[in-house]
């Protein structure tokens, strides 16, 4: 058991004095959880193998899952990589600071523990002012995976970090909820064309507007079929872990419109009614389970009336937010997963969501949580 230093720090009005004790812990090889705009990270000195080992130990993280290195300024990326490619320069200029992790060939300064033995390293400059100042004060690049125990949903509130890591790390900074709520986009920028390895807050469309056509790694496509000749070998090792899942089994409800969720107007009443009907029909079949439903505000609003007619077993209904507001839904996803974890629900029936903008990342996390299981009514 470690004595964890836990402190509330106002994410807008903090001073260096608030952060210095934590920066010193990091510089001395300690582990500190801190908020970023995506999710809470568990940081350690990326140049210190002993500190990196503590991160893997605290999380129970498999050693073949590499870490993202966080820097405080764009130029701090340079010593970590062999070359900053022209593509990376364009992406850095447009999207840093922000929720974009850039994969480049590593330099010899990066320990094997960070990259899990890969020849590439993943680097990010977070937009959260507290995270950036903490990294700057620590004076070293900070390797930081999500601050959850391995296998649990990423933490988007300090309470999630306390639940998972109190007594296992040296410090936890409570800086309020995370704005994006999903992990960063990971993009391979080693070549001339960007390849998305993990979708996130910086979308394909956003990158395409400055970097031309953007490929999506085949492991991410629904059919698993590659685009533009990329092979399916897992270039982003973390992709094989289902670390976004709640404890209950999660199943996606297939509707006649599921194949074209991106074309469905968010609050189209016919589409909403169909989703609600399919969710309730699936629930009716599962009398032995304690059932949770994860859906939009719009779907929840029609569920009640329909349930009176269809008589499903008792349901725990949780909403992500309005279908018209994918950012809100993204920010709530992992919070809802953890709420379900604290409930007696054994099966979660989830509504597929429009794959526009951050909706692509949202559906990626939902499909991973579902183990790609879809069920028809």
122 sits near ligand AMP (criterion: CB under 6 A): yes
Query: Residue 36 or residue 296: which is nearer to ligand AMP going by CB?
Result: 36
Q: Which of 25, 81, 84, 118 is in the footprint of ligand AMP by CB under 6 A?
A: 118
CB atoms closer than 10 angstroms to residue 16? 11
CA distances to 11, 131, 209, 244 from 170, in Å: 20, 16, 42, 25
Least distance from ligand AMP to the Cβ atom of residue 237, Å? 6
Query: Which residues, 6 or more positions from 125, have their beta carbon under 8 angstroms from its beta carbon?
Result: 70, 71, 72, 73, 74, 76, 77, 92, 96, 97, 98, 132
Q: How far is CA 34 from the centre of its chain?
A: 15
Kindly state whether residue 185 participates in binding ligand AMP, applying the rule CB under 6 A.
no
Closest residue by Cα to residue 80 from 52, 121, 127, 43: 121
Residue 67 vs 293, nearer CB to ligand AMP: 67
The kind and range of the H/E element at 123 are: strand 120-124
Q: Which is nearer to ligand AMP, 65 or 351 (CB)?
A: 65
Of 213-221, 236-244, 277-285, 295-303, the window that binds ligand AMP (rule: CB under 6 A) is: 236-244
Q: In which element (H, E) is residue 283 found?
A: helix 269-284
Closer residue to Mg ion in complex, CB, 149/249: 149
With CB under 6 A as the contact rule, the residue among 80, 103, 251, 283 that binds ligand AMP is 103
Rounded to whole angstroms, what are the CA distances from 180 to 52, 207, 221?
26, 17, 23
CB closer to ligand AMP out of 103 and 215: 103
Determine, following the binding rule CB under 6 A, whether residue 110 of this chain makes contact with ligand AMP: no
Residues contributing to the site for Mg ion (CB under 5 A): 146
Among 11, 43, 97, 145, binds ligand AMP (CB under 6 A): 145
Instruction: Return the one option of Mg ion, ligand AMP, none that residue 103 interacts with (CB less than 5 to 8 A, by type).
Output: ligand AMP
Non-local CB neighbours of 308 within 8 Å, separated by 6+ positions: none
Q: Kindly state the helix (H) or strand (E) to which residue 368 belongs, with its residue range.
A: helix 359-369
Q: How far is the CB of 271 from Mg ion (least distance, A)?
A: 33
The residue among 250 and 293 lying less far from Mg ion, judged by its C-beta, is: 250
Number of other residues whose CB lies within 10 A of the CB of residue 206: 18
- Residue 193-232 contact track with ligand AMP, rule CB under 6 A, x = bound: ----xx----------------------------------
Is 127 or 275 the residue whose CB approaches ligand AMP more closely?
A: 127
Q: What are phi and psi of 344, to 5 degrees?
A: -80, 5
Interface contacts to ligand AMP, rule CB under 6 A: 65-66, 68, 103, 115, 118, 120-122, 145-146, 183, 186, 197-198, 235-239
């Amino acid at each position: 058991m470690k004595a964890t230093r836990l402190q509330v720090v106002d994410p807008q009005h903090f001073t260096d004095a608030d952060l210095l004790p934590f920066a010193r812990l990091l510089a001395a090889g300690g582990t500190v959880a801190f908020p970023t705009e995506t999710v809470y990270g568990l940081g350690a000195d990326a140049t210190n193998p002993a500190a990196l080992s503590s991160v893997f130990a605290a999380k129970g993280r498999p050693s073949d899952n590499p870490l993202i290195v966080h820097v405080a300024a764009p130029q701090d990326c340079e010593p970590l990589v062999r070359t900053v490619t022209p593509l990376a320069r364009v992406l850095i200029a447009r999207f840093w600071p922000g929720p974009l992790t850039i994969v480049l060939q590593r330099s010899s300064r990066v320990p094997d523990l960070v990259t899990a033995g890969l020849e590439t390293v993943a680097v990010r400059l977070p937009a959260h002012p507290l995270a950036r100042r903490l990294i700057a004060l620590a004076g070293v690049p900070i390797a930081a995976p999500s601050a959850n125990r391995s296998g649990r949903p990423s933490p988007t509130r300090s309470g999630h970090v306390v639940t998972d890591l109190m007594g296992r790390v040296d410090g936890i900074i409570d800086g309020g909820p995370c704005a994006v709520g999903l992990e960063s986009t990971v993009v391979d920028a080693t070549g001339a064309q960007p390849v998305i390895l993990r979708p996130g807050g910086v979308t394909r469309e956003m990158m395409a507007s400055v970097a031309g056509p953007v490929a999506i790694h085949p492991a991410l496509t629904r059919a698993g079929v590659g685009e533009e000749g990329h092979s399916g070998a897992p270039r982003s090792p973390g992709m094989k872990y289902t670390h976004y899942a709640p404890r209950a089994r999660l199943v996606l409800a297939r509707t006649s419109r599921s194949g074209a969720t991106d074309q469905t107007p968010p609050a189209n009443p016919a589409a909403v009614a169909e989703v609600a009907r399919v969710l309730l029909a699936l629930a009716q079949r599962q009398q032995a389970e304690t059932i949770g439903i994860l859906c939009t505000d719009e779907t929840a609003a029609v569920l009640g009336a329909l349930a009176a007619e269809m008589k499903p077993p008792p349901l725990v209904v949780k909403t992500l937010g309005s279908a018209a507001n994918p950012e809100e839904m993204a920010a709530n996803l992992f919070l809802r997963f953890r709420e379900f974890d604290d409930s007696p629900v054994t099966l979660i029936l989830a509504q597929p969501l429009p794959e526009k903008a951050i909706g692509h990342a949202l559906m990626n996390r939902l499909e991973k949580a579902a183990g790609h299981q879809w069920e028809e009514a």
